[in-house]
Structure 1
Amino acid sequence: MSAHPVPPELVDAAVRAAHRLGKDVSDVPVLAIAKEAGISRSTLLRKLGGTRHQLDEAVRASGVDPGRRNPVSERAIEAGARLIAEHGLTGLTLEAVAAAARCSVHSLYAAFGGRDELLRAIFEKYADGLDVGEALSDPDRDLAETVHLLYRRLAQGLDHRPRLAPAMIARLLAQPSDDGLKQLTELVGPRLLNGVSEWLAGEVTRGRIRDLPVPILMHQLVGPVLHHFLLRPVSELVPGLVLPSMEESCEYFADAFLRAVALPPPCDQPAKER
């Protein structure tokens, strides 16, 4: 059965409606196209042979891109990540996401249920860059090598584009009572610091680092690099202030941590570790 021919006036009406609404043709409701064409919705569908797909293909054949056909959820997640990177978490409103993703706020509620669920979906998609577990995968690796690798992985996670973790942490510090952010902390925290507390405790037991409470060791390890990468975008704007590269910064932080907590090896063992 051949495709139902789409009248040129309906193609023109669809393009005009998209331009007027600021949307891709594929995102313009059938009712809006029918109104632009001066006919009823049922008449429009009858002329299209009962399917909207024919209209989008006719628009494409006319030389106009009807727009991405990705699901609303995918477009919203990508748009939300861009908004967070550009404006922080305050920029993530459903209205802003709907405008950037070229969909309706109602469709966002249908896809996610609300802003907190959308934010969680965004972090779920981009959380892979926050996992530091690989740096701790070899328990027999030299301590200094592990620490340097861990800092590089932490830096990559914090600077991972879009910079979601710093945006979340900054907002959490400003509004610690935000229930939605508390839930995200439970999601992102284990990924960002996956296995770090267990690794620190193990290094204490092995006599490779000082016997300090693990939370203190954690702060000693993570605090400087977290502070640095939270403030780095602002620091780069200060006239005359030249920051070391990300790689150099990681080297400095790793060396400082090792000087603070690393213990010399026992006298009866080879000096394999710093």
Structure 2
Amino acid sequence: MAAEVDAQLVAAAVGVAQQRGQAVADVPLTAIAKAAGISRSTLLRRLNGTRAALDEAIRAAGIDPGGRPPVRERAIEAAGYLISERGLGAVTLDAVAEAADCSLPSLHSIFQGRDGLLAAVFDRFSPVLDVEALAMTPPDRIEDTIHEIYQALITAFGQEPRVMPALFADVLARPTGPARQVLEQATPRMLHSIERLLAAEMQAGRLRQLPLPLLIQLMIGPLVLHMLLRPVLETSIGRQLPTVEESCQVFTAAFLRSVAAQSPTPDATHPSAQT
């Protein structure tokens, strides 16, 4: 179902395009989200994971969003859908060139090969950019920080094309396959950003002093598994399944309870404890 695009998003897209002197279709979603005062992941959720709905809303407002997107944008979008539909192993530069209606030399020139293209696809459809932006300007409260990280993960795993589930499926099916290389290259960036967010809380004494790799696994593991299984759960148990936002709140509260620094237990022999 097509997303209903808020008029404020249309105005933000048109305004930033005018400021940059570009067609709306050429303006990155990151810039549109900034102009609208929201995060990129929030913008993607409102557009159901694709900017096509925004382009249609702009046309409906009587404005031409512009011609065909640049080759880079078409290639990333095409590769994302190929990964979602066929798996990472089937995505070749030839297949992407055909799907994006561009030449093979142009892909080599823009991305310097398949690895460069896959890295760009991962940046576009993974939560890395959103988590990096969050690490630059974190919320004041740890509850909001964890919630925002979860929202970025929810967007990445729930949007179309379903690149992240396809990557995880490939890693689980073929541990030495191509998805492993993609994740090995990109995951450290995300973990570094999460480490920056959590280390401050540990230093302030609000989180337990746990090994950071395990702390991060405790945080993202349950939600990632939930988002991977959610399409099946929605079919099998239907209304018993909480909404995505309700699930996000539950996971946030559960993580904070499990890793919150424990207050010192009063000494039963101390006079102040015997009241």
Question: Shorter chain as normaliser: what TM range?
Answer: 0.5 to 0.7
Provide the residue aligned with 2:193 in structure 1.
Answer: 195
Within 5 Å, give how 1:34-53 maps onto structure 2. none
Distance 1:103 1:117 in 2: 17
Distance 1:261 1:70 in 2: 46
Q: Does 1:102 align with 2:114?
A: no
Provide the residue aligned with 2:166 in structure 1.
Answer: 167
Structure 1 residues 80, 249: CA separation in 2 closer, same or farther (over 3 Å shift)? same
Q: Is the 8 A contact 1:129 1:160 kept in 2?
A: no
Q: What is the DSSP-based 3-state SS (H/G/I as helix, E as strand, rest coil) of the residue aligned with 2:201?
A: helix
Query: Residues 220-240 of structure 1, C-alpha deviation per residue, up to 9 Å, x if partnerless?
Result: 101001111122223323255
Provide the residue aligned with 2:115 in structure 1.
Answer: 116
Q: Does 1:217 align with 2:215?
A: yes
The AA in structure 2 aligned to 1:219 is Q
Distance 1:146 1:69 in 2: 37
Provide the residue aligned with 1:245 in structure 2.
Answer: 243
Provide the residue aligned with 1:263 in structure 2.
Answer: 261
Provide the residue aligned with 2:4 in structure 1.
Answer: none
Q: Is the 8 A contact 1:131 1:194 kept in 2?
A: no
Query: Residues 194-251 of structure 1, C-alpha deviation per residue, up to 9 Å, x if partnerless?
Result: 4212332332222111222212211110100111112222332325564222111110
Structure 1 residues 146, 128: CA separation in 2 closer, same or farther (over 3 Å shift)? closer
Structure with larger Rg: 1
The AA in structure 2 aligned to 1:173 is L
Distance 2:216 2:123 in 1: 24
> Matched residue pairs, number?
199
| TM-score, normalisation: structure 1 | 0.59
Distance 2:186 2:93 in 1: 22
Note the residue ranges of structure 1 that are not aligned, 5 or more in a row. 1-67, 268-274
Query: 1:171 deviation in Å?
Result: 1.5
Structure 1 residues 82, 190: CA separation in 2 closer, same or farther (over 3 Å shift)? same
Q: What is the DSSP-based 3-state SS (H/G/I as helix, E as strand, rest coil) of the residue aligned with 2:236?
A: coil
Q: What is the DSSP-based 3-state SS (H/G/I as helix, E as strand, rest coil) of the residue aligned with 1:236?
A: helix
Q: 1:232 aligns with which of 230, 233, 236?
A: 230
Structure 1 residues 170, 263: CA separation in 2 closer, same or farther (over 3 Å shift)? same
Distance 2:79 2:138 in 1: 38
Distance 1:239 1:78 in 2: 33
Q: What is the DSSP-based 3-state SS (H/G/I as helix, E as strand, rest coil) of the residue aligned with 1:195?
A: helix
Structure 1 residues 225, 170: CA separation in 2 closer, same or farther (over 3 Å shift)? same
Q: Which of the two has greater helix per residue?
A: 2
Query: 1:76 deviation in Å?
Result: 2.6
Q: What is the DSSP-based 3-state SS (H/G/I as helix, E as strand, rest coil) of the residue aligned with 2:209?
A: coil
Structure 1 residues 157, 194: CA separation in 2 closer, same or farther (over 3 Å shift)? farther
Query: Residues 106-165 of structure 1, C-alpha deviation per residue, up to 9 Å, x if partnerless?
Result: 765566564333322323444576421344455682222322233223322333443323
Q: Does 1:75 align with 2:74?
A: yes
Distance 1:170 1:188 in 2: 17
The AA in structure 1 aligned to 2:150 is Y
Query: 1:256 deviation in Å?
Result: 0.7
For the aligned residue pairs, the C-alpha RMSD in angstroms reads 3.3
